[in-house]
């Protein structure tokens, strides 16, 4: 079904984002974990662009752009979508006692 090279790349990408594999639906990550994966994604950039279709590497193909945490979550979502999985996003709300306001922390889970 899947090319072994693509499966290996997917496994490396998921490990960079602290997932334990494509079947790991328990791990929830935030944008901090996404930023920690930046070095791995930049190192694998050429291989990912060569292995996956253009629609699944659109964010990686953009020139002269520094990848933010949000961009790195988009990269993960595009690559995982090729393998018939999705990244489920939700917001976790926290209360800021000093400003007396709520703020949200975006969280992501592999489905």
- Could you give the dihedral angle defined by the CA atoms of residues 3, 39, 105 and 76, in that order, rounded to the nearest 10 degrees? -20
pTM over 0.85: yes
Please give the Cα distance from 40 to 99 (Å, whole number). Answer: 37
Over its length of 111 residues, how does the chain's per-residue pLDDT go in tens digits? 468 889 999 999 999 999 999 999 999 999 999 999 999 999 999 999 999 999 999 999 987 678 999 999 999 999 999 999 999 999 999 999 999 999 999 999 999
What tokens appear for 58 in the block?
Answer: 């659109």
């Amino acid at each position: 079904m899947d090319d072994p090279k693509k499966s290996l790349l997917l496994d490396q990408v998921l490990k960079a984002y602290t997932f334990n594999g494509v079947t790991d639906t328990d791990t929830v990550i935030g944008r901090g974990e996404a930023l920690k994966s930046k070095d791995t994604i930049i190192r694998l950039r050429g291989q990912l662009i060569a292995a996956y279709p253009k629609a699944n590497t659109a964010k990686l193909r953009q020139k002269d752009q520094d990848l933010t945490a949000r961009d790195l979550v988009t990269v993960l979502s595009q690559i995982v979508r090729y393998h018939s999985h999705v990244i489920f996003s939700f917001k976790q709300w926290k209360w800021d006692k000093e400003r007396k306001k709520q703020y949200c922390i975006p969280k992501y889970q592999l489905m």
